Amino acid sequence: MMKAVQVTQVSPAIRQITLQDRDSRNTFSEALVEGLINAFDQVNADADCKVVILTGYDSYFASGGSQQGLLDQQAGKGQFTDTNIYSLALDCPMPVIAAMQGHGIGGGFVMGLFSDLVILSRESIYTTNFMKYGFTPDMGATLIVPQKLGTALQDLSRSGSQGQYSTLILNDYFNATRNIHSTSRTESIRG
């Protein structure tokens, strides 16, 4: 049976934490949460580790709350902040790179944004869909989304707008970034 979270040594100084709970598609299942906590404990104790890469599998980075977790939260049986997974990357003494190669949904997207460097995929969906399901954005979403991506996505998360709008804004971001880098390269060649 495959572990929900795996730590691998990419090089002598780089560790990769891979979220791979295929049964839950990387929702915050008990196995994934426990695995994340253990993985960060392991890399934090590793004196040789200088950088951490946080990634998912296939087309999933992290899918946020599990169905049972959301139902429990709605019934008042706890909050996602009861288990402190959202700040694992933030509290890590080494730089954490979130290589979000797949979909980042709700709390899963927010968790990745707490990394020091965030790399997003053009093909994936990133959404803060809390309000669509009747939840107040939590896990620090109202702080970290505008800090990392600007206020346009914060406005979308408050209104409950979803995927397609976030994707359009992210595509605009990718295009603008590409244009800036292309212009910089052209100017340095000419200069």
pLDDT at residue 162, as a whole number: 45
Q: Is 120 helix (H, G, I), strand (E, B) or coil?
A: strand
Distance CA 166, CA 158 (A): 12
- With vertex at residue 80, the alpha carbon angle to CA 127 and CA 166, rounded to the nearest 5 degrees, is 5
Mean pLDDT by runs of 10 across the 191 residues of the chain is 93 97 94 96 98 96 86 79 86 96 91 93 83 73 80 52 45 54 46 47
pLDDT at residue 186, as a whole number: 43
Q: Where are the domains of the chain?
A: 5-190
CATH number of 5-190: 3.20.20.100, 3.40.50.720, 3.40.190.10, 3.90.226.10? Answer: 3.90.226.10
Q: Give pTM, 2 decimals.
A: 0.78
Say if residue 34 is exposed, middle or buried (CB neighbours under 10 Å; 0-12, 13-18, 19+): middle
Q: How far is CA 67 from CA 29, 169, 191, in A?
A: 9, 28, 56
